[in-house]
């Protein structure tokens, strides 16, 4: 059995802790054979455990404590701690592993609920499970989510060669904002979502750049965000936003502008990887 889970990009600017898209980079897990002890063969570095303490197995055992240990192979092209949902992909993979090996028969809705409760937010795990574009809420223990088609476009990921932990990136957020600001921030998010549903990426991109919930507070951690926005406007991409908690910035681009964007982004004075991706429409797959 092989399980494939997509990378994800959360927030889309004003859809903070709520909106996310699935992307065409993947975590792959292969179940090789039953063994005496859990073991994962991977080449993700010595910081990632290869035994039962790995988040993948911990998650699976949380759901099904009596699973027979397995030898697993894991490969991933989702960079770690960069705002592309690497840990969410592992949590979602662990849930699917328990679902299949333990015959739990979980529905997609149940998987989204369990993953959200483990991860704490739905905006990465829900698109990793459902694919495409997902809008979700997690309030007072209740999880609700809606999947919808994201309009055709390229997604350019500007991935700085530095880690930024979600905890660090959340530590700079305020404890409260005023009622007036919250109403404005919510209206911007509402228009962005409605524009995506309408297939209107120029308007969606405009609203993506008007977030009032988190990006202004995080700017000091991600100095490249404003520079990327300037380039995106010059070239005529739809918009750019901080992917999840950062440091990756995603540019939503019409296909014909992508080469120009990549060339200009490559000239910024940072060490970074630039990947041209597309939206993954399927979410988690089991082969």
CB count within 10 Å of CB 178 equals 8
Shortest Cβ 169–ligand HSE spacing (Å): 6
Residue 89 in marked binding region: yes
Residue 9 in marked binding region: no
Is 166 one of the binding residues for ligand HSE (CB under 6 A)?
Answer: yes
Cβ burial, residue 254 (10 Å; 0-12/13-18/19+)? middle
Distance, in Å, from the CA atom of 229 to the CA atom of 222, rounded to the nearest integer, reads 12
Is 9 one of the binding residues for ligand HSE (CB under 6 A)?
Answer: no
**Pick from 259, 210, 205: which is nearest to 233 by CA?**
205
Q: Which residue has the tokens 């679902």?
A: 99
Distance, in Å, from the CA atom of 205 to the CA atom of 164, rounded to the nearest integer, reads 24
Is 10 one of the binding residues for ligand HSE (CB under 6 A)?
Answer: yes
Of 9, 11, 54, 248, which lies in the binding site for ligand HSE, with binding defined by CB under 6 A?
Answer: 11
x-or-dash pattern for ligand HSE, window 194-213, by CB under 6 A? --------------------
Distance, in Å, from the CA atom of 80 to the CA atom of 96, rounded to the nearest integer, reads 21
Is 131 one of the binding residues for ligand HSE (CB under 6 A)?
Answer: no
**Closest residue to bound ligand HSE by CB:** 121
**Pick from 240, 225, 245: which is nearest to 121 by CA?**
245
Nearer to ligand HSE, 76 or 86 (CB): 86
Is 134 one of the binding residues for ligand HSE (CB under 6 A)?
Answer: no
Residue 88 in marked binding region: yes
For helices 55-63 and 86-101, give the axis angle rounded to 10 degrees.
40
Q: State which H helix or E strand residue 62 sits in.
A: helix 55-63
Of 244, 249, 277, 284, which lies in the binding site for ligand HSE, with binding defined by CB under 6 A?
Answer: 244
Shortest Cβ 245–ligand HSE spacing (Å): 4
> Contact residues for ligand HSE (CB under 6 A)?
10-11, 16-17, 121, 123-124, 166, 169-170, 214, 244-245
The binding site for ATP comprises 79-89
């Amino acid at each position: 059995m092989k399980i494939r889970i997509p990378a994800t990009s959360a927030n889309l600017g004003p859809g903070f802790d709520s909106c996310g898209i699935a992307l065409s980079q993947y975590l792959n897990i292969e179940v090789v054979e039953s063994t005496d002890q859990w073991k994962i063969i991977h080449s993700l570095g010595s910081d990632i455990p290869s035994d039962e303490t790995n988040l993948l197995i911990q998650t699976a055992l949380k759901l099904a404590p009596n699973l027979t240990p397995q030898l697993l192979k894991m490969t991933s092209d989702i960079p770690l701690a960069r705002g592309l949902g690497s840990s969410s992909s592992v949590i979602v993979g662990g849930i699917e592993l328990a679902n299949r090996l333990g015959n739990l028969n979980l529905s997609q809705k149940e998987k989204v609920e369990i993953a959200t409760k483990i991860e704490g937010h739905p905006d990465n795990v829900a698109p990793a499970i459902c694919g495409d574009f997902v809008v979700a809420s997690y309030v007072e223990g209740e999880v609700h989510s809606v999947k919808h088609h994201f309009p055709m476009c390229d997604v350019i990921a500007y991935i700085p060669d530095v880690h930024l932990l979600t905890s660090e990136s959340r530590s700079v957020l305020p404890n409260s904002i005023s009622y007036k600001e919250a109403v404005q921030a919510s209206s911007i998010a509402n228009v962005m979502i409605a524009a995506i549903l309408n297939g209107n990426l120029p308007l969606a991109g405009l609203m993506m750049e008007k977030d009032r919930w988190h990006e202004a507070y995080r700017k000091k951690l991600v100095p490249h965000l404003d520079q990327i926005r300037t380039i995106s406007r010059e070239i005529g991409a739809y918009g750019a936003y901080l992917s999840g908690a950062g440091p990756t910035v995603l540019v939503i681009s019409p296909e014909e502008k992508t080469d120009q964007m990549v060339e200009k982004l490559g000239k910024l004075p940072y060490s970074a990887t630039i990947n041209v991706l597309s939206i993954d429409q399927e979410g988690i797959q089991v082969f």
